[in-house]
Structure 1
Amino acid sequence: MSFINTLNAAWIKSNSLLMVGLDPDITKMPAELAGRPDSIFQFCKQIVDATAPFVCGFKPQIAYFAAERAEGQLEDLCAYIRETYPQLPLVLDAKRGDIGATATQYAKEVFGRYNAHAVTVSPYLGADSVDPYLEWEDRGVIVLCRTSNPGGSDLQFLMTDGVPLYLRVADLVANKWNKTGQCGLVVGATFPKELAAVRKAVGNDIPLLVPGIGAQGGDIAATCAAGCNTQKTGMMINSSRAILYAKGPGHWTEAAAAAAKQTRDDINAHR
């Protein structure tokens, strides 16, 4: 199935809008994994297995793997998720953005090497930098729009003919770039007013990847009120650190599972 069809099915089957971000920080990993050559893979694999019942997908962040020369472990992790949980979308958080020829290679990397269902990309270089990803017609292309970090306002709030740049991006994606129906947008939970503006601008069918709850402080109730579509879906609400490094009784995987379940339930209570 295409990314969009897989995502739509996952929202319904899992009864969840929660996406778990896989950002493995080696300084925070459990002591039992220390010294293992595959420690990053093992950590993420156990998180995936513990939280899979409560999520609509997983989002590995490539920088955490590349910084530790662990791209091979990322390949193994992506293969494991695709084989073990084929019903759950795999979004590679790479935030790629470069000219067409280079973008073609990046698309080959994320969709060929890692076999991700979708990837995050930057719109700053325009349509021809996004087109190589769109050529993979069964995959998703999730474009940065209103990001969750405060510094995003430096550019994203710039006015262009009376419209803030982030809404200009939303309009481009929804009405020009989304010709094959495979695009989404990144909009942070830390800015619910802007999240609501994006949802209003793009309608029901564009999925939103929403980082910023948990460690970044985004409010779940405000996020659901602002970003859900009329079907009470439409979002992949990402949480990373609050789940990966959750504290609680029992094994660390049990704490992660409990945090994921609680977050899933909190989201469901407000949508």
Structure 2
Amino acid sequence: MTTQQLVQEIHKKKSFLCIGLDVDLTKVPKHILEFEDPIFEFNKSIIDATIDLCVAYKPNTAFYEAYGLKGWQSLQKTIQYLNEKHPEIFTIADAKRGDIGNTSTMYARAFFEDLNFDSVTVAPFMGKDSVEPFLEFENKHAIMLALTSNDGAFDFQTKNADGKELYKVVLETSKNWKNAQKLMYVVGATKAEYFTGIREIVPDSFLLVPGVGAQGGSLQEVCKYGMNDNIGLLINSSRGILYASAGNDFAEKARVEALKIQQEMEMILSK
């Protein structure tokens, strides 16, 4: 999917919501566990209930890898369902990969060719040869960690390097990499005060923003400082939507929570 297609979908749905499909079988309704593939059944129910309210889904691969081969098969079935039934949806493999060049190439092939995701999250610590292989695929995107929403982000990301905070060095350096126009960046909503400076460095890039909702980030603040002329934001919500109910009505309650966010987004877009 191109960024232009993503922007069109945002305007069509009046939403820039991304729903994280982070399935924890200890939290799903008990009746879901009776299915042969409870992870896929849970995902399918969430997707069917929220598809008109969001523009992206983001399975975090750890929540599938934890269940071994069966979990990976559930991930395959989920992305296949999205690609076949809803090709207009932007899909994100939240895998946070990053290794030497030939290894990154194999990671990229796994997510872009085998699973056919539109994007994958990557870690920049090993530099350009660990990220550029993800940027070689047509109409695919790498979403690079820049300033994350966890408490440990302050251990390294905001420390000074060459007179600048490290996350700024990461952003500025990545702009010079081959096919850098395909880069998007992860910026946590809990760091809303940093968005103005980030937009000075990457004014046109899409930002994937976790941390709204369960982690306390403010949608209004993120949009105030982080939105650009093409919207440029994908706001992720996972737990607050997925586990709104532990009962048989879990999908309906997930829709209610997703609708609240979408309606707030629609108001922001109408201004």
Counting only pairs closer than 5 Å after superposition, residues 65-84 of structure 1 correspond to structure 2 as 65-69=64-68, 70-84=71-85
Could you say which residue in structure 1 is the equivalent of 2:229?
230
Paired with 2:139 and 2:229, the residues of 1 have a C-alpha distance of 25
Contact 1:58 1:90 in 2 (8 A): yes
Distance 2:109 2:25 in 1: 28
Q: Does structure 2 retain, via aligned residues, the 8 Å contact 1:3–1:118?
A: no
- The correspondence of residues 26-175 of structure 1 with structure 2, limited to 5 A, is 26-69=25-68, 70-173=71-174, 175=175
Structure-1 separation of matches of 2:132 and 2:267: 38
Q: Deviation digits for residues 100-133 of structure 1, max 9, x if unmatched?
A: 1111111111112211000000000000001111
Residue deviations 1:213-235 (CA, integer Å, cap 9, x gap): 1111101111111211134x110
Aligned to 1:195: 195
CA contact (8 A) 1:212 1:238 kept: yes
Counterpart amino acid of 2:12?
K
What is the percentage of aligned positions where both structures have the same residue? Answer: 38
> Segments of 4+ in structure 1 off by > 4 A?
none
Partner Cα separation in structure 2 for residue 138 and residue 262 of structure 1: 31
**Distance (Å, rounded) in 2 between the aligned partners of 1:267 and 1:196:** 20
Contact 1:220 1:270 in 2 (8 A): no
- Distance in 2 separating the partners of 1:247 and 1:263: 17
Deviation per CA, 1:63-96: give whole Å up to 9, x if none: 0011012101100100100111111100110000
Per mean C-alpha deviation after superposition, the further-off stretch among 177-186 and 250-259 is: 177-186
TM-score normalized by structure 2?
A: 0.94
Distance change (3 Å), C-alpha of 1:258 and 1:120: same
**Which residue number corresponds to residue 14 of structure 1?**
13
Alignment of 1:263 with 2:264, yes or no, is no
Q: Provide closer, same or farther for how the CA distance between residues 9 and 41 of structure 1 changes in structure 2, counting only shifts above 3 A.
A: same
Shift of 1:178: 6.0
Instruction: Note closer, same or farther for the CA distance 1:36–1:157 as it changes in structure 2 (3 Å cut).
Output: same
Q: Aligned in 2, Cα 1:180/1:144: closer, same or farther, shift over 3 Å?
A: closer
Tell me how far apart the structure 2 counterparts of residues 126 and 180 of structure 1 sit (CA, whole Å): 13
Counterpart of 1:26 in structure 2: which amino acid?
Answer: L
State the Cα deviation string for residues 130-153 of structure 1 (Å, max 9, x = none).
111111132011100000101011
CA RMSD after TM alignment? 1.6
Q: Is the partner of 2:255 in helix, strand or coil?
A: helix
In structure 2, C-alpha distance between the alignment counterparts of 1:223 and 1:241, rounded to whole Å? 19
**Count of aligned pairs between the two proteins:** 267
**After superposition, what is the alpha-carbon deviation per residue over 1:4-48, rounded to whole angstroms, capped at 9, x for unaligned?**
233222212211011000000100111111132310001011101
CA distance in 2, matches of 1:45, 1:197: 39
Structure 1 residues 240 and 128 mapped into 2: Cα distance closer, same or farther (>3 Å)?
Answer: same
Q: Give the Å deviation of 1:248.
A: 9.4
Bigger shift: residues 8-17 or 211-220 = 8-17
Which residue identity does 1:7 align to in structure 2? L
Contiguous gaps of at least 5 residues in structure 1: none
Q: Is the 8 A contact 1:209 1:237 kept in 2?
A: yes
